[in-house]
Amino acid sequence: MIEFASYLVAYLLGTIQTGLLVAAATGVPLRDLGSGNTGAANVVRTIGWKGGLLTVVGDGGKGFVAASIGTLLVDDPAAPVIAGLAAVVGHCFPIWWRFRGGKGVATAMGVSLSIFPWVGGIAVATYAAVLLATRISSAGSMSAMTVLTTGSLLLVDGRPTITFAMLAIFTLVIVRHGGNLRRLARRREHRLVIR
Mean pLDDT is highest, among 31-45, 116-130, 157-171, for: 116-130
Tens-place pLDDT, residues 137-180? 999 999 999 999 999 888 876 678 889 999 999 999 999 999 99
CB atoms closer than 10 angstroms to residue 132: 10
- pLDDT of 132-144, one tens digit each? 999 999 999 999 9
Q: Is the pTM of this model over 0.75?
A: yes
Judged on CB neighbours under 10 Å (0-12, 13-18, 19+), 186 is exposed
Q: What is the DSSP letter of 64?
A: H
pLDDT tens digits, residue range 9-20?
999 999 999 999
